[in-house]
Structures are given as C-alpha cells and as structure tokens.
Amino acid sequence: MDEMKHNETGYSTHDYYYDLPEELIAQTPLEPRDSSRLLVYNREEDKVTHAHFFDLPSFLREGDLLVVNNTRVIPARLFGHVEGKEAVLEVLLLKRMDYTHWETIMRPAKKARLGAKIVFNDELSATVTEVGEYGARTIEFCFDGVFEDILDRTGNMPLPPYIKEKLTDKERYQTVYSKIEGSAAARPSSLTS
C-alpha cells in the first residue's frame, strides 16, 4: 500500500483532492441570495446538472428529506493580548460549556499558558483554565453586562481562510434560514499552532 491512507471503501484520501481555481471562490454572497450555484447529482442516471438554488424545488420529489441548517453564526473570532504583553492572540470560540466557560482554539497558543489573563478590550477579558493540545484552551470570561451583546461588539465572524474580502455586514454571512444562536463555523485544522 502506498503512503496514502485508504478508507473502508477502498478510496484513498488522494481521490478527494481537486484543484479549485481562486477566481471561482465567491468572496461575497450573491444578491439575490437564491442566485447561487447548485450542483445536482442524479445517482440513478449518474448525471450532473448545474443549476441555481432557486431551481431546488424542481429537483425535490414527494418523500424527499430536506435538512436545513438554521443556526446563526456568532462572531466567534476574538483578538486580544496576554495581560502585560503586546503580542496579538487570536481566540476562536468553539463550544460554550456554561455561562462563562468556553472551549477555544488559540494562536499562537504557546502565549496562552495556564492562568494567563487575556484582555480583549475594556469590556471583556478571560483567564485560561485548561490547556490542551494543538492550541486547545478552556477559558473563563470576565465581563460586566450581557455576554452576547459584548461579543457582538467585540468579536469577528469566523470566515474561512479562503475568504479574503473583509466582511462589512455580519448578516450577510448568515444562512437565510438562521434562527438559533450558536454556530461558530469553526475550522480547527486551519488554526492549529
């Protein structure tokens, strides 16, 4: 067997690699939103159809199951510094554990040792309470007020690394079905240190 890893189906990870030209990566959502491209694969006919999202109803049949992501992405990327130091520290919120504790990924993680106080601004700071591997940290936030409001003012949307355009309107990053707060849209592999 070569160096590529094979899964139970016999495919190697190499079978899933493909080149995606940068000019084909949308940097901003289309307007209207339902104009985005839709690739449809018909398994019975082994046929690919290129359509638009507004065409979706014409591909659905009675009995089909449509799963919709209705979570709202929170501004889960924070920039701060360890108290007494000037170097910028990036914190990506992954999972809320309770009212003040969050699982996070930090970079550069070596700057965020156990007990370190991280200052984001006058409204928000945090203390590292657990240290894990690959930049994983558990932190306890310290704030006065409503955390979600402070996060909305302080945090940034966690855009994937292939989006280079600056996001000016946080609502443009939300799915049109979004209702429930909480998705961090995290890509931990891109934030390892």
DSSP string, 36-75: SEEEEEETTTTEEEEEEGGGHHHH--TT-------EEEP-
Confidence check: pLDDT of 166 > 60: yes
Regarding whether 62 and 144 lie in a shared domain, the answer is: no
Confidence check: pLDDT of 32 > 60: yes
Work out how many domains the chain is built from and give that number.
Answer: 2
Regarding whether 178 and 115 lie in a shared domain, the answer is: yes
Regarding whether 91 and 52 lie in a shared domain, the answer is: no
Regarding whether 175 and 107 lie in a shared domain, the answer is: yes
Confidence check: pLDDT of 108 > 90: yes
- Of 15, 40, 67, the domain-final residue: 67
Q: Which domain holds residue 51?
A: 30-67
Any domain includes 84: yes
Any domain includes 16: no
Any domain includes 91: yes
Any domain includes 1: no
| 190 band by pLDDT with thresholds 50, 70 and 90 | very low
Q: What is the rounded CA–CA span in Å between residue 139 and residue 125?
A: 10
More reliable by pLDDT, 191 or 90: 90
| 188 band by pLDDT with thresholds 50, 70 and 90 | very low
**15 is written with which tokens?**
């079978």
Q: What is the rounded CA–CA span in Å between residue 87 and residue 119?
A: 11
Q: Coil, strand, or helix at residue 191? A: helix
Pairing of strands 77-82, 117-119: antiparallel
Q: Region 114-143: what's the mean pLDDT?
A: 96
Confidence check: pLDDT of 10 > 70: no
pLDDT score of 115: 95
pLDDT score of 9: 65
More reliable by pLDDT, 19 or 85: 85
**What phi, psi does 96 have (nearest 5°)?**
-80, 125
- Of 9, 38, 67, the domain-final residue: 67
Regarding whether 134 and 81 lie in a shared domain, the answer is: yes
More reliable by pLDDT, 175 or 78: 78
pTM tops 0.95: no
- Of 38, 67, 96, the domain-final residue: 67
Confidence check: pLDDT of 145 > 60: yes
Stretch among 79-83, 100-104, 110-114, 173-177 having the lowest mean pLDDT: 173-177
Any domain includes 43: yes
